[in-house]
Amino acid sequence: MSLMEASGGGSSPESVALGEALTFFGDVSAFAAGAPSGEGERIAALAAGIAQQAGLSVSDCHALYFAARLRLAGALGNRAFAKGEHLPERAARMERWDIPTEGARLCRRIGVLPKDTADIVRWQAECWDGTGYPDQLRWAGIPKPAQLLHVAVAYVTASDPQEAFTEITSQSGRAYSPEAAGAFTRWFHLNAGEIDAMEVPLEALHGSAFAPADAFALLAERIDAHNATPGRANRLAAHATGIARSMNLPVGDIEALNFAALLSGAGELREREIESAQFGALARLGIELRARNAATAADLLGACPQLHRASEIVRARAEWYDGTGAPRHLRHEAIPVAARILGAVIAYDALEEDHRTRITEDRMLPVSRIDKAAGTQFDPAVLRALAETVKARA
């Protein structure tokens, strides 16, 4: 049975949603590592194609597919990319060697993945001759699917397919196992180097121990680690949903707002510093930056069908209540109420963080400070609800 045939069934709404969440996780991590959009999908499809040429079992092919999609999961929070770290090139390279190991740890936490996924992620960058990382495994010590993933990554990430083909064949017995290079060569000749898109093998996801919401929560945790804002996503989500409930928003809106709050930090993944470190939360100068980060996060979230509504909330979170925000200069009720809430809680969290950490004579409470922007930057009704929520939590 081919991988494609094997991938035909098992598409219950739950597994579809889980598949979307996991591939979204992979895409956001790849984004954080600087990979171009769609790269993970291409690598996974190619790896599966080579695996068929290498005669891997269907279960190995499935594990390989998910490992390819999540191969850069460990980049989230890696010190080579993290905020405020300016490591010398040698040190940054060594930090990047830890990406596969951290990715493997994350894959282990995602209990529904095929059995060997974590180990394929762990050993994806091992070289046949022992010059790879993290473990410098060599020869048959490297699991076959991991050898194939290494080849697939080399091909897809290269700028020129023909040059990549030459490089892979010339590195047979060095970076790549002769078997993996051979399987790749056969695939290349049969497919003229063209990668066919493939469906996510949903039936390979097993058990119900991990739901899409768990994937988003785990991703939010890693985004916070990457942005050096520990716990921020959960704080934002708690405040935002608290306000939404007190304003009697529909359940669907509250759920979308929850995801928007959890994942809004995705827009800052490639920034050298988080936006509140560059501009004060209430500064007009920060509008463009906030809108850009909001658009980046919204684009990422928009690629996941379950997060379409959350995406629209995130996109509008840099609008100002008086219409002087960005990107669309919406004003008053034209700004979705969930976006008004998200904008306010993000600013409030930054002010609270500032209040907690800065030694300053200005001891004004964050609520009082944010209240000064009522009617201009923020919806006064939202700020009233925010004040009540904060008071209730206190």
Partner 1 sequence: MIELHERTRRISASRLEELLQQYGCTSMVDPFMGVPTHLNYLKRHDIAVHGGDLVDWFVRAGEGIVVNDFTVLRDNEVAEIVEMLPGRIYSVDMFKAWEGVFFSEEQCVYLGVWHDNVRNLRSDGQTGLAIFGLWSVLCYWLQKAQQPDEMQDVPPSELAWNYIRKSEQWVSTNLRRNTVRQADVLSTINAQQADALFIAPPARNSFRTADARIWMWEAWWQGNPYYNIEHAYRDSLFGQRSADEAGYARAIASVLSSAAEYPVIILQTTEQRLREFEPHMRNARARVDVVAPHANEVYLIGTR
Residues near partner 1 (CB under 8 A): 93-94, 97, 100-101, 104-105, 119, 122, 129-131, 134-141, 169-170, 172-174, 178, 181-182
Nearest distance from C-beta of residue 320 to partner 1, angstroms: 47
Give Cβ neighbours of residue 55 (< 8 Å, ≥ 6 apart): none
Q: Which is nearer to partner 1, 100 or 286 (CB)?
A: 100
Q: Which is nearer to partner 1, 108 or 355 (CB)?
A: 108
Cβ atoms of 388 and 344 within 8 Å: the answer is no
Nearest distance from C-beta of residue 143 to partner 1, angstroms: 9
Q: Which is nearer to partner 1, 172 or 389 (CB)?
A: 172
Nearest distance from C-beta of residue 212 to partner 1, angstroms: 27
Q: Which is nearer to partner 1, 137 or 385 (CB)?
A: 137
Nearest distance from C-beta of residue 161 to partner 1, angstroms: 19
Cβ-in-10-Å burial (0-12, 13-18, 19+) of 97 comes to middle
Q: Which is nearer to partner 1, 176 or 210 (CB)?
A: 176
Distance of CA 68 to the CA centre of its chain: 14
Q: Which is nearer to partner 1, 173 or 305 (CB)?
A: 173
Nearest distance from C-beta of residue 141 to partner 1, angstroms: 4
Nearest distance from C-beta of residue 214 to partner 1, angstroms: 22
Q: Which amino acid is at 128?
A: W
Q: Which is nearer to partner 1, 95 or 255 (CB)?
A: 95
Nearest distance from C-beta of residue 87 to partner 1, angstroms: 13
Cβ atoms of 279 and 286 within 8 Å: the answer is yes
Structure tokens at 96: 């990047």
Nearest distance from C-beta of residue 131 to partner 1, angstroms: 5
Q: Which is nearer to partner 1, 111 or 305 (CB)?
A: 111
Nearest distance from C-beta of residue 75 to partner 1, angstroms: 16
Q: Which residues pair with 374 in a beta bridge?
A: 378
Q: Which is nearer to partner 1, 40 or 132 (CB)?
A: 132
